[in-house]
Amino acid sequence: MHNAKILLIDDETSILQLLEIVLRKEGFHHIYKAGTAQEALKLLGRHKADIILLDVMLPDQSGFELGPKIRAMSDAHLIYVTARTSDLDVLTGFATGGDDYVTKPFNPLEIAARIKARLRRASASPLSREEDTRNRYEFGQFTVDEYAGELLVRDRPVAIPALAYQLLLYMCKYPNKVFSKSQLYEAVWGIDGVGDDNTVMVHIRKIRERIEPDPGEPVHLVTVRGLGYKLMKEKEG
């Protein structure tokens, strides 16, 4: 039913088997399993994965060490799956190429929901060229060009991770509106965002590092204490 290729990397055979059973019931049939980093790299070299679930604690190499190697080979959506829940671990996961972070114990159906949500967004039909060419969002020193898929800072293209770009683009469409972390997670990652504050916070930080004159004192993407975030735009006239 689903053509997406999923690579599961975990040294716990029971977890691999459980995930495979649930994913197959959910309609996924191209599932590859690896118990070590070395085996994962071999499989990734043979199969172009769309989604990768990566455990941090592997017998031959840390998932945090493997993540950048995966990222060098693939632009697949990379989800870290781990029992390590400290803020440092979460930040390390995103810094080493992760797009999302799920902690153990987890509900396999939640994993399936995250995968489906990511695939829906990846396959969403783009706007027509006529509509898209109008979608340039200008905020003083930076501009988001939706048609080109570019972030321009002082008229120069700036590289930005895909999900950080999608988060910025979403907020550009609703300037001066306050969003909670869960609302942003649901809008960009595709499922209910309760408990995923770190994911949003890290991507907000990535955006600020690119658009703010001083990321430590943001003037564009600001925090509204107790509520969330909003992207500021001066009202014309």
The predicted structure's pLDDT at residue 116: 86
136 and 107 co-located in one domain: no
Task: Say yes or no: 86 and 186 in one domain.
Answer: no
pLDDT at 196: 66
Domain-terminating residue out of 77, 99, 122: 122
For residues 121 and 32, give the distance between their C-alpha atoms in angstroms, rounded to a whole number. 22
Question: Which residue would you say has higher pLDDT here, 89 or 187?
Answer: 187
Query: DSSP string spanning 144-209?
Result: EETTTTEEEETTEEE---HHHHHHHHHHHTSTT--B-HHHHHHHHHSS--TT-HHHHHHHHHHHHH
Residue 125 has pLDDT above 50, yes or no: no
Residues 12 and 87 in one domain: yes
- Rounded CA separation 235/226 (Å): 24
Same domain (yes/no): 110, 143:
no
Domain's final residue, options 122, 149, 167: 122
On whether both 150 and 217 belong to a single domain, the answer is yes
Examine the fold and report which residue of 77, 98, 122 is the final residue of a domain before the chain moves on. 122
In a domain, 214, yes or no: yes
pLDDT range class, residue 192, cuts 50, 70, 90: low
226: CB partners within 8 A, 6+ apart: none
190 and 88 in one domain?
no
Q: Is residue 191 part of a domain?
A: yes
Please give the tally of structural domains in the chain.
Answer: 2
Q: Is 41 a residue whose pLDDT tops 60?
A: yes
Distance CA 96, CA 222 (A): 25
Long-range interactions of 155-162: CB distance < 8 A, separation 24+? 158/210, 160/206, 160/207, 160/210, 161/99, 161/203, 161/206, 162/75, 162/99
Residues 31 and 137 in one domain: no
117 and 136 co-located in one domain? no
Strands 142-145 and 136-139: antiparallel
Q: pLDDT tens digits, residue range 160-170? A: 888 899 899 99
Domain that holds residue 96: 2-122
With a cut of 70, say whether residue 184 has pLDDT above it.
Answer: yes
pTM of the model: 0.66
Position 48 in a domain: yes
User: Is 237 inside a domain boundary?
Assistant: no
Measure the CA–CA gap between 237 and 26, rounded to whole angstroms: 52
**Cα-flanking dihedrals φ and ψ of residue 48, to 5°?**
-85, 100
pLDDT tens for 212-222 read 999 999 999 99
In a domain, residue 204? The reply is yes
Q: Is the confidence at residue 152, as pLDDT, over 90? A: yes
Q: In the predicted model, is pLDDT for residue 32 greater than 50?
A: yes
208 and 146 in a common domain? yes
218 is a domain residue: yes
Looking at the domain assignment, is residue 38 inside a domain? yes
Query: Which band of pLDDT confidence, cut at 50, 70 and 90, is reported for residue 67?
Result: very high
Contact 78, 67 (CB under 8 A): yes
Percent of the chain with pLDDT over 90: 52
Query: Given strand 142-145, what is the order of strands in its sheet?
Result: 136-139, 142-145, 150-153, 156-158
26: domain CATH number is 3.40.50.2300
Same domain, 92 and 137: no
Domain assignment of residue 236, yes or no: no
Mean local confidence (pLDDT), 219-226: 94
